[in-house]
Structure 1
Amino acid sequence: MGLSTPRLRVLHFDWRSSATRDFIAIFGGIVLVSLLAHLYGLGTRLARLGQRYVDSVLDDIIFIVFVAFFLSIGLTVFSVRRYRKLARGTEARTITEGEVRDLARHDPLTGLPNRRLFDEKLDLCVGLATDTHQVAVLMLGLDGLKRIKNTHGHAAADKALCEFATRLADILRKDGLLARIGGDEFGIVLPNISSLEDPANLARRIVASTADSFAIETGAAELSLGIGIAIAQLDGVTPHELVRRAERALYRAQGDGRSRVRFFEPDMDMHVERRINIERELRSAIAADIIEPHYQPVVSLVSNRIVGFEALARWESRTLGHIPPDVFIPIAEETGLINALGDQLFRRACSDATAWPKAFSLAFNISPVQLRDSALGERLISILEQTGFSPHRLEIEITESAFVERSGAAKTVIDGLRQAGVRIALDDFGTGYATLSQLLSFRLDKIKIDRSFVSHLDDSTDSRVIVRAILGLANGFGLTTTAEGIEDEGQLVYLVSNGCTEGQGYLFSGPVPAAGIPALLDREASDGPVTGDGARSLHA
């Protein structure tokens, strides 16, 4: 076993460290003082002084004084250097803490104040508000940012968002505060307003500023927004209550359409409470599978006979009563419940339709939100196989907004369904934003004319021109046409004379539950198509 060689520890000086610099300063100070003492003969003079006094105690005192003198010089140099270091460290720490506080109060993407600084500003302004100098809170919700992100990517959405923030900052007066509250939500604190016209004018300018398209790398994109406004002292004293009411006004503005502005009104609280109750009951209803499809006949305007049924969701809540589909379907879309609800209704509709005559078709509506799910087509085909309903008897209805929002994803789902034999119908034609090229790319089988045009055929020249144009377009491309909302003979006569092939409406029958279809078919077999009150159709 060999002996290990002992390692020599080498004293290493780091010339950049403060301790090394302090040692050099002290040592240098001592050398400097010694040199000065030598130059001025301090040692000789002390020696002479020592010769006069032979007392050893005095010698000790002189030695101590001499050492203390040098030590005091060294400690003084050391203290000065340490003080300067501490001062620089304190200054740097103060600057860093200020930067951290600033970052904690600002949005890193847009550079705008965030919710924290927004709340601080609002607390201060509400505390100073009076009857003559009130405070307005504007809550802004952007619409279209998600579409840009899905279509052009995150970078494009971020660029549009920053440009939007820049436009708003240029409009806002100096004493106002613009903050980014969330992903697509902004807030404005406007102090010292003298009338409601101040926030109203600002809101109108903001809406006008978003009317111009936003430049992104791949071209241009469109954004719209809703604005909700609440006023202190009018709408709430506490900052929290003021923001809550502005958000409820925003919710109502977004429900009214694109780029709307709403002031808070007391009935909005009741509206929002009802919406919350509906969402809670909707979750329970889906879990219990109590929302059921009713069926409205689709009538051939050539043979005047029923050729199929459209499934329409109907919900009778145990606690809230009848909830219309135009109320609970949007809530299901917003809350992510639409896929579960849609699958439930489709399964029940397919099961019910297996009892119908084989020549009858089933029309089923798919929302644009459902079409964002790439697995939708596979699920629908799986349900067809499980229930035994033929895909050749199924007609899927989609709206124009599906093309605009996610044309690529929608086309993938629709192409898969078409390959399985499912027909595709465009619902509510003329009310959306699809281009003709988009419509042609989806290889449609049917166009449904929206009831808003049909209902005005008797009293509107514009509606008659639009309907005639739609029928001509469909005939040119060899598509079937179905008119919705037929309620009187005049509408029916116009549609038939202009080549409409199918119709729906209360002139024939309203929606009926599955159990009511046999009676409806028996009545048709004996009397022909009937209206909702049992009278014979005017077209029969």
Structure 2
Amino acid sequence: MVVPGGTGRVAGTGASEGRGMATAPDRLDEAGRAEDQAHNDLLGLGIIIAAVLLFVANGSTVLADFVHSLMTGSRPREPMLGTALILNIALLLFGWRRYVDLTREVGQRREAEETAHKLAHTDPLTGCLNRRSMGPAVEQMVSTARTSGHEVVVMMMDLDNFKRSNDVHGHQAGDAVLLHTADRIRAILPAGSIIARLGGDEFACAAIFDPDHVESIDRLILRMNEAVAMPVRVDGLMLEVTASIGLAATSAADAGAPPALADTLLHRADLAMYQAKKAGRNRYCWFEQNMESELRFRSELEREIREGVARGEFVPYYEKQIDLETGELTGFEMLARWRSPRHGLLSPEIFIPIAEEIGLISELSENLIRQALRDARDWDPTLTLSVNISPIQLRDPWFAQKLLKLLVEANFPPHRLDIEITETCLHENVGVVRTLITSLKNQGIRISLDDFGTGYSSLAQLRTLPFDQIKIDRFFVSNLGKNKDSATIVEAISSLGKGMDLPITAEGIESPEVLDELRKFGKFKGQGFLYGQPGDASEIRAMLADRQLLQQQAENQSGIPARTAIA
């Protein structure tokens, strides 16, 4: 979708700029034609004036002579004057025709200028102002409001999950959502307000308000959120989007000239909108001063993540998975860690959401999986490797092929790999997940449903999707013995696993008391800090060597080479 004034494309560059800008010879030709046109217009005007003067001077005499010749049948006494009269009439007709042509040309030029002005200052899809004209419009509104003692609030709005809906249902459906959104916002904003589409699914609004009634803005934004969240029907489909809105007002802004203040308001509203998204989306947030420093830290973190991926600073750590009945080690779950030169060792909760937002999660995850497969290749063949997959990766139609390529490169047996898919992924697109699961299972890879109990999966989905095991979310496990509801949920999931013949792994076992409570509900595999902190590749290798659980050691003890090739 091409959006005038958007951030994805700079208007007037490339080939279009060559067509839109005249060269020096072209401008000279145009100037020459304009000069000739002006000369012709002056000449025509002179001819018309002369014709009118001749007609006034000779018209009465010629007409009297002409009438007399008609009544008496004699020849005109002044034939030359008659000829002059006919010439005068012809010149007047010529002048009138030229006047009509000039009037039409001026009208066409005026219409073209108005069209060009509209295209330069409005969004062609929604009819809103565009990015270029939003700033000056806010400047004018601030100046007007100050004369009456009022304030101006600027609102930045971004539609949540619009890109995903646009990709799934097509640009035509996306355009319909944008049109309905713009219409709904217009209907709610007070008279005299401003609305602009800045690009893609981002809108900006501005309105004048009474500083003694700031709560009116909060009510306005709540109505706006409710209106945008209403479903949009497009070709029989019901499309739903929500909006994250950031607010900034002149009453809280530093004093300054309107141009600087307008830019400041738009910038601060944008920061507040980002915070609204970060807080959970489908909500609004007022600008606060600490958001500036948070944005700078966020920008620095994004840059460091990009550089860290290129330098290989992200490494896999491994958490033990234990059979709770026998106490035996069954495998490891790979956990991402960032060895940052500036911040030290960081957990995935800090960098994974940012990597997803800036589009680096696929590259980051593939690098970690590649390292983990090479590390796990030397483990005892009975040990498995579990890997978490981001919901963004599941939208990649080539993910299964990429994963199989990594397995071939590492010469790692597929049956030892366990891919963990979070329960919330099923709510996003069950069809895509089903295709991916089927493709991976056909290659011998095991599939687990992670964080079970926190999402939206149903019994029907568990029955139709070929999962190999269920993992109970650590929140419910770690609260066993403290929270009655957690015990009820764990017991229900245990019964479900038995009924569907699905093994269950419990995450978050951090104390002997939790382990004792968990054993009351059946047989599980488990993992948690009770069995040790996650370790890097060298630490895990040393631990496995002590337990005689490395590939070479297994071969030496049995005398039979361990299978490492992909079947």
TM-score, structure 2 as length reference: 0.79
Given the alignment, which residue of 51, 75, 100 partners 1:84? 100
Given the alignment, which residue of 227, 230, 235 partners 2:248? 230
Q: Secondary structure at the match of 1:369?
A: helix
Alignment of 1:271-282 (within 5 A): 271-282=294-305
CA drift of 1:143 comes to 1.1
Residue 176 (structure 2) pairs with residue 159 (structure 1)? yes
Partner of 1:206: 224
Alignment of 1:55-454 (within 5 A): 63=80, 68-130=84-146, 132-194=149-211, 195-235=213-253, 237=256, 238-454=261-477
CA distance in 1, matches of 2:68, 2:344: 110
Paired residues of 1:118 and 1:189 also in contact (CA < 8 A): no
- Which amino acid is 2:69 matched to? G
**CA distance 1:458–1:354, change in 2 (3 Å):** same
Paired residues of 1:156 and 1:216 also in contact (CA < 8 A): yes
Count of equivalent residues: 487
CA drift of 1:169 comes to 2.1
- Which amino acid is 1:114 matched to? N
Paired residues of 2:414 and 2:445 also in contact (CA < 8 A): yes
Residues 466-495 of structure 1 show CA distances to partners (whole Å, capped at 9, x for unaligned) of: 222222222221112112122122322222
**CA distance 1:381–1:191, change in 2 (3 Å):** same
- Which amino acid is 1:391 matched to? P
Residue 520 (structure 2) pairs with residue 504 (structure 1)? no
CA drift of 1:46 comes to 11
Q: Secondary structure at the match of 2:278?
A: helix
CA distance in 1, matches of 2:370, 2:173: 40
Q: Secondary structure at the match of 1:181?
A: strand
CA distance in 2, matches of 1:414, 1:215: 31
CA drift of 1:335 comes to 1.9
Paired residues of 1:483 and 1:500 also in contact (CA < 8 A): no
Paired residues of 1:235 and 1:245 also in contact (CA < 8 A): no
Partner of 1:529: none
Q: Secondary structure at the match of 2:504?
A: strand
CA drift of 1:175 comes to 2.2
CA distance in 1, matches of 2:236, 2:543: 55
Quick check: 110-119 or 342-351, which moved more? 110-119
- Which amino acid is 1:138 matched to? M
Partner of 1:8: none
Paired residues of 1:136 and 1:193 also in contact (CA < 8 A): no
TM-score, structure 1 as length reference: 0.82
Residues 262-288 of structure 1 show CA distances to partners (whole Å, capped at 9, x for unaligned) of: 111111111111111111111211112
Given the alignment, which residue of 479, 486, 503 partners 1:463? 486
Q: Secondary structure at the match of 1:156?
A: helix
Residues 398-450 of structure 1 show CA distances to partners (whole Å, capped at 9, x for unaligned) of: 11232233333333332221111110111112222344433433211111111
**CA distance 1:203–1:523, change in 2 (3 Å):** farther
CA distance in 2, matches of 1:312, 1:48: 115
CA drift of 1:312 comes to 0.8
Paired residues of 1:299 and 1:306 also in contact (CA < 8 A): yes
CA distance in 1, matches of 2:76, 2:194: 81
**CA distance 1:46–1:511, change in 2 (3 Å):** farther
CA distance in 1, matches of 2:207, 2:376: 59
CA drift of 1:83 comes to 1.3
CA distance in 1, matches of 2:219, 2:415: 56
CA distance in 2, matches of 1:406, 1:477: 23
CA drift of 1:66 comes to 5.9
**CA distance 1:48–1:428, change in 2 (3 Å):** closer
**CA distance 1:155–1:49, change in 2 (3 Å):** closer
Unaligned runs of 5+ in 1: 1-25, 51-61, 527-540
CA distance in 2, matches of 1:438, 1:111: 44
Residues 197-247 of structure 1 show CA distances to partners (whole Å, capped at 9, x for unaligned) of: 232221111222244433233342322221111111413552112111111
CA distance in 2, matches of 1:37, 1:347: 110
- Which amino acid is 2:482 matched to? D
Given the alignment, which residue of 65, 69, 74 partners 1:41? 69
- Which amino acid is 1:372 matched to? R
CA distance in 2, matches of 1:205, 1:91: 44
**CA distance 1:435–1:228, change in 2 (3 Å):** farther
Paired residues of 2:229 and 2:243 also in contact (CA < 8 A): no
| % identical aligned pairs | 38
Partner of 2:556: none
- Which amino acid is 1:288 matched to? R
- Which amino acid is 1:419 matched to? N
Unaligned runs of 5+ in 2: 1-50, 550-567
**CA distance 1:378–1:48, change in 2 (3 Å):** closer
CA drift of 1:126 comes to 2.4
Larger radius of gyration: 1
- Which amino acid is 2:105 matched to? G
Q: Secondary structure at the match of 2:530?
A: coil
Partner of 1:9: none
Paired residues of 2:65 and 2:76 also in contact (CA < 8 A): no
Partner of 2:552: none
